């Protein structure tokens, strides 16, 4: 069933282009344009697009090469010759031109614009719109919408086809106003006075507070700063050596160093001809590599014990790193200190006949000075520290006591090795490693004693 159309037509003003509606029964009457005020005459029955006349020519395509051809209407039915392919094509009759129909939107009531003063408020427009509320299908929960007038009737679900009874929705709750009622506003207490503004803290106090907090944090993590005993080189030496991880490192390094020495001895005994010589070279290379890695780890452990002992710690906080490439730095410090300490022995070797005694005395006297100097200066090339040389004079009794303890340690170790371990390689190497750890522990405690006993002004002068 088609919808009836309204007889309303539109008239366009020739002056301003405004569109004016009119009815066909008003044909011939005059009207005034609402845009420019020009007097217009309502058109009659001939309003709208005029019917087009029959065309005089007809266009068609060649049946062979599709060239476009043209002929007069009276030649319909005859054959026309193509100028390209010379084939003949029958002239078809012209196609009928369909009458143009104006769009449906041009008929009936048209949309308009309100003036500024006549436009209704948005709330009024929303009030005139039909009200809808949601309704859910009782079977498939499809969302539908209904009007208040449909309350009590049934809606058919567009998905499942089940009919659902429309129930009146609950009343809407009134929205609370965002405005505070009169008399409930916040009131200021006139009797309460504002708190005084805190005085700004000077930067020096802030820095001092940061230093105190950092010191408290260090004390919380590592405990209170250890106190220097009366004789540091005689008291509290063994607790660090017996705590983890030093025993584990001592056992591992002793085994590795023993294996390196045994590989070296096997390489020396295998030096001959043929396949035995090749095996001897392989054993020698393995012994060198294992020995260098073991000595590097051992020197790192020595330096860790020395630095932690110089700070008064009773536990090793800086064990060797698991990465072998980080061990060679400590090996450089200890190697240069040994080379410099042996230089006086090399000079006196031509004068003194007992070279072993010269080497031992040179190492005993020079090695602590050179190693502590390099560690204090932070460079293996700075072999003499002015502050450490000054301590040789100012703290001579401390140095004498340390040298005496070192001589006793070396003499006792040599006596034990000769008397109890003369031919036991498996016992000599672990015993020597343990003695070396004890020596560096003793040297670290002595460095702590020197640092605490030197006057404060010496620190300022050296800087």
Residue 434 binned pLDDT confidence (cut-offs 50, 70, 90): very high
- Tell me if 145 is assigned to some domain: no
323 burial via Cβ count (<10 Å: 0-12, 13-18, 19+)? exposed
- Distance between alpha carbon 279 and the CA centroid of its chain, in Å? 53
- Same domain? 289 vs 340: yes
Helix-strand-coil percent breakdown of the chain, rounded to 5?
Answer: 50, 10, 45
Q: What angle do CA 394, 395, 399 make, to 5 degrees?
A: 140
- Same domain? 86 vs 223: no
Instruction: Please report the pLDDT score of residue 16 as a whole number.
Output: 77
- Same domain? 354 vs 289: yes
Distance CA 264, CA 283 (A): 7
- Same domain? 318 vs 352: yes
For residue 37, the 8-state DSSP code is -
Q: What angle do CA 99, 105, 111 make, to 5 degrees?
A: 155
Distance CA 335, CA 345 (A): 16
Structure tokens at 339: 């080379």
pLDDT above 60 (res 457): no
Q: Are 368 and 346 spatial neighbours (Cβ–Cβ below 8 Å)? A: no
Total domains, the chain: 3
Distance CA 138, CA 117 (A): 48
pLDDT above 80 (res 5): no
- Same domain? 81 vs 230: no
Higher pLDDT, residue 168 or 109? 168
- Tell me if 340 is assigned to some domain: yes
Give SS3 for 408: helix
- Same domain? 335 vs 372: yes
Helices and strands counted in the chain (H then E): 11, 12
Give SS3 for 62: coil
- Tell me if 178 is assigned to some domain: no
| Helix residue ranges, H only, 349-462 | 355-377, 386-394, 396-419, 425-453, 456-462
CA distances from 153 to 147, 167, 326 (A): 11, 8, 88
Give the domain range for residue 393.
213-462
- Tell me if 135 is assigned to some domain: no
- Same domain? 25 vs 63: no
- Tell me if 448 is assigned to some domain: yes
124 burial via Cβ count (<10 Å: 0-12, 13-18, 19+)? exposed
- Per-residue pLDDT, averaged over 351-380, amounts to 84
Nearest to 311 by CA among 241, 227, 434: 227
- Same domain? 63 vs 39: no
- Same domain? 38 vs 63: no
CA distances from 177 to 180, 385, 458 (A): 8, 83, 78
Residue 272 binned pLDDT confidence (cut-offs 50, 70, 90): low
- Same domain? 402 vs 432: yes
- Tell me if 95 is assigned to some domain: no
What is the pTM (predicted TM-score) of this model?
0.52
Residue 459 binned pLDDT confidence (cut-offs 50, 70, 90): very low
For residue 130, the 8-state DSSP code is P
Residue 442 binned pLDDT confidence (cut-offs 50, 70, 90): very high
Instruction: Please report the pLDDT score of residue 108 as a whole number.
Output: 57
- Same domain? 294 vs 225: yes
Nearest to 73 by CA among 51, 98, 46, 96: 96
- Same domain? 86 vs 217: no
Intra-chain end-to-end CA distance of the chain, in Å: 109
- Tell me if 156 is assigned to some domain: no
- Tell me if 289 is assigned to some domain: yes
Instruction: Please report the pLDDT score of residue 137 as a whole number.
Output: 92
Instruction: Please report the pLDDT score of residue 104 as a whole number.
Output: 65
Nearest to 158 by CA among 136, 127, 191, 179: 136
Nearest to 368 by CA among 447, 449, 298, 304: 447
């Amino acid at each position: 069933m088609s919808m009836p159309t309204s007889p309303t037509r539109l008239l366009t003003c020739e002056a301003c282009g405004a569109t004016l509606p009119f009815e066909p029964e008003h044909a011939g009457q005059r009207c005034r344009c609402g845009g420019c005020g020009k007097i217009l005459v309502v058109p009659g029955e001939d309003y709208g697009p005029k019917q087009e006349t029959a065309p005089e020519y007809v266009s068609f395509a060649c049946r062979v090469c599709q060239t476009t051809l043209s002929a007069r209407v009276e030649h319909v039915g005859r054959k026309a010759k193509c100028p390209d392919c010379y084939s003949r094509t029958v002239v078809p009759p012209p196609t009928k031109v369909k009458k143009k129909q104006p769009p449906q939107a041009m008929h009936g009531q048209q949309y308009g614009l309100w003036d500024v003063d006549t436009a209704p408020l948005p709330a009024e427009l929303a009030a005139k719109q039909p009200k809808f509320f949601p309704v859910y299908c009782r079977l498939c929960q499809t969302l539908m919408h209904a009007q208040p007038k449909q309350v009590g009737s049934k809606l058919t679900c567009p998905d499942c086809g089940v009919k659902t009874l429309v129930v009146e929705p609950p009343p809407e709750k009134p929205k609370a106003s965002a405005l505070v009622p009169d008399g409930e506003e916040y009131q200021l207490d006139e009797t309460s006075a504002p708190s005084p503004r805190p005085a700004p803290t000077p930067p020096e106090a802030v820095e001092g507070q940061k230093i105190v907090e950092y010191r408290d944090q260090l004390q919380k993590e590592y405990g209170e700063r250890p106190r220097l005993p009366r004789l540091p080189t005689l008291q509290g030496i063994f607790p660090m050596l017996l705590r983890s991880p030093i025993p584990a490192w001592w056992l591992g390094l002793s085994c590795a160093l023993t294996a390196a020495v045994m590989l070296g001895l096997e390489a020396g005994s295998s030096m001959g001809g043929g396949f035995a010589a090749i095996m001897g070279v392989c054993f020698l290379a393995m012994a060198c590599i294992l020995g260098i890695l073991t000595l590097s780890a051992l020197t790192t452990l020595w330096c860790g014990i020395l630095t932690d002992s110089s700070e008064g710690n009773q536990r090793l906080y800086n064990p060797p790193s698991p990465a072998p490439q980080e061990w060679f730095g400590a090996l450089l410090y200890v190697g240069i200190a040994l080379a410099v300490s042996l230089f006086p022995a090399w000079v006196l070797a031509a004068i003194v006949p007992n070279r072993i005694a010269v080497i031992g005395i040179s190492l005993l006297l020079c090695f602590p000075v050179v190693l502590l100097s390099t560690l204090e200066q932070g460079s293996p090339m700075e072999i003499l520290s002015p502050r450490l040389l000054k301590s040789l004079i100012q703290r001579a009794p401390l140095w004498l006591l340390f040298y005496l303890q070192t001589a006793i340690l070396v003499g006792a170790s040599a006596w034990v090795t000769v008397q109890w371990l003369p031919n036991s390689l498996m016992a000599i190497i672990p015993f020597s490693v343990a003695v070396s750890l004890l020596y560096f522990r003793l040297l670290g405690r002595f460095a702590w004693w020197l640092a605490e006993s030197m006057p404060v002004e010496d620190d300022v002068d050296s800087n």
